[in-house]
Amino acid sequence: MIDSFVFLAPILLLPVVMLLAFIGCNAVFGIQPTTLLVRLFRTNCGGPAVADTDLGWADDSDPNAADTPNKGFPLQNTGNAVIDPATGSAAGTIYETCRFGNPGLSYTYMVGQGTYTVLLKFAQISDDPNFAGPFAFKMDGGAPQIIEENNFDVVSLAGNTRTKYDYQENVTVSEAGMLTITFSEAQNHGNFPFINAIEIDN
């Protein structure tokens, strides 16, 4: 005859297992904590609002914003659609516009203290020679380390014009909570810096 405890043991132990897991004994049971990516800001630089999963891309199409210091000028792609080199298909609406600086432009976000993942989306959508060649940008969160690129050539990195290239970096922001992303001419170059879209995640 089979002892009834054999059947009752799993039921009796279940509350204990749940309690240990709740108080933090995940490693004992092989439970891995899940880190959720929270999208805080999305800006469709130089373009209209665009719906997307999790968080839409904010409108940045107002041409009068060029009157704001360091805001730059909006530009719409009038050529072939921007391509995603990984798939060979269209990269999407947010790559079809940009803002460019003459000589520079910047975006500032109030994000709060912490470390954030910043994704900058680029595609050279103009055949104007002023857009050809490198420019510079930096991401400054007021912390000791500033992320800088001083010779950033989108076409060289993407492989062609109207081809997307995404740049991702983690940026630490100080207690002031302000993150400023500045685009400028590269040293010894007079090319227009530009940006197609900005995403900030936590």
Provide the CATH number for the domain around residue 131: 2.60.120
Residue 18 sits in which domain range? 1-34
Parallel, antiparallel, or unpaired for β 135-140 and 147-152?
Answer: antiparallel
Residue keyed to tokens 């197609």: 196
21 and 47 share a domain?
no
pLDDT tens digits for range 105-123: 999 999 999 999 999 999 9
104 and 19 share a domain?
no
Compute φ and ψ for 71, nearest 5 degrees. Answer: -90, -25
185 and 129 share a domain?
yes
95 and 182 share a domain?
yes
28 and 77 share a domain?
no
165 and 90 share a domain?
yes
The secondary element (H helix, E strand) that includes residue 161 is none
194 and 150 share a domain?
yes
130 and 174 share a domain?
yes
Query: For residues 191 and 185, is the Cβ–Cβ distance under 8 A?
Result: yes
DSSP-assigned letter for residue 83: B
Of residues 65 and 191, more confidently modeled: 191
Query: For residues 179 and 109, is the Cβ–Cβ distance under 8 A?
Result: yes
19 and 107 share a domain?
no
50 and 148 share a domain?
yes
- Retrieve residue 85's tokens: 């080199």
28 and 62 share a domain?
no
**In the chain, what percentage of residues exceed pLDDT 90?**
72
**What is the pTM (predicted TM-score) of this model?**
0.82
Average pLDDT on 24-32 reads 47
Range in 36-40, 105-109, 143-147, 149-153 the model is least confident about = 36-40
Count of the separate structural domains present in the chain: 2
17 and 89 share a domain?
no
Angstrom distance (rounded) from CA 152 to CA 198: 16
